[in-house]
């Protein structure tokens, strides 16, 4: 949304302040209060930082208040909220947001699917996890190395070792997390 005045300097200042004081609730609330009286809260980048900061401090309710002010949030803002839900073990809310994003005009991406899979693992929800994997494949996201690692973790958690191994074997780029999963297989006596 275009501003009547150029608010970018204010946005950058608030972002800088949030970065500096992100480990303490009182300054964050003070910064948030100042953004309310200024049109900068309409900036989704600033809202994303507020959501992440509140969630990191364990104040998911405050993050949600920032999030719901946007009738058409961008994917990055939705992912900040979904990631905050996961980090605070609010798995049902994570999946509700994932479903909302998939049914509306909001795009899901590899981060969205990663958060949703982590929520499925937290809830032991195999059926929904398979749905997340299916939707990731539809969007062509399954080749992201971080998402592939989450898919492998999900499959291993639910005992689909052969399928997890196939995902691992088809990964063009295996990084540390993948090799740690591989080590767990070996330590657990799984066939290589």
Q: Is the confidence at residue 192, as pLDDT, over 60?
A: no
What is the reported pLDDT for 5?
45
Report the mean per-residue pLDDT for the chain: 83
For residue 76, is it within any domain? no
For residue 81, is it within any domain? no
Co-location of 150 and 96 in the same domain: yes
Co-location of 2 and 67 in the same domain: yes
Domain that holds residue 111: 91-192
Q: pTM score, two decimals?
A: 0.82
Please tell me the distance from the alpha carbon of residue 12 to that of residue 109, in angstroms, as a whole number: 26
Mean pLDDT lowest among 33-42, 62-71, 113-122, 174-183: 174-183
Local confidence band at 39 (pLDDT 50, 70, 90 cut-offs) = low
Domain count, the chain: 2
Contacts of residue 54, defined as CB under 8 A and 6 or more positions apart, other chains included, come to 28, 60, 62, 63, 66, 84
pLDDT digits (tens, 9 = 90+) for 98-149: 999 988 778 899 999 999 999 999 999 999 999 999 999 999 887 888 898 8
For residue 79, is it within any domain? no
What is the reported pLDDT for 70?
85
């Amino acid at each position: 949304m275009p501003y009547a005045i150029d608010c970018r300097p204010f946005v950058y200042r608030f972002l800088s302040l949030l970065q500096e004081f992100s480990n303490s609730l009182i300054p964050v609330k003070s910064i948030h209060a100042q953004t309310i009286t200024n049109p900068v809260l309409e900036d989704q980048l600033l809202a994303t930082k507020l959501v992440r900061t509140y969630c990191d401090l364990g104040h998911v309710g405050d993050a949600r208040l920032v999030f719901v002010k946007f009738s058409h949030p961008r994917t990055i803002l939705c992912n900040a909220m979904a990631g905050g839900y996961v980090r605070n073990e609010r798995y049902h809310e994570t999946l509700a947001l994932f479903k909302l994003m998939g049914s509306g005009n909001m795009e899901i991406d590899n981060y969205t699917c990663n958060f949703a899979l982590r929520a499925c693992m937290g809830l032991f929800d195999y059926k929904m996890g398979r749905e997340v994997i299916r939707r990731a494949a539809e969007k062509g996201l399954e080749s992201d190395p971080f998402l592939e690692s989450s898919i492998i973790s999900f499959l291993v958690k639910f005992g689909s070792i052969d399928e997890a191994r196939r995902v691992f074997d088809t990964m063009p780029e295996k990084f540390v997390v993948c090799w740690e999963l591989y080590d767990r297989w070996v330590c657990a006596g799984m066939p290589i």
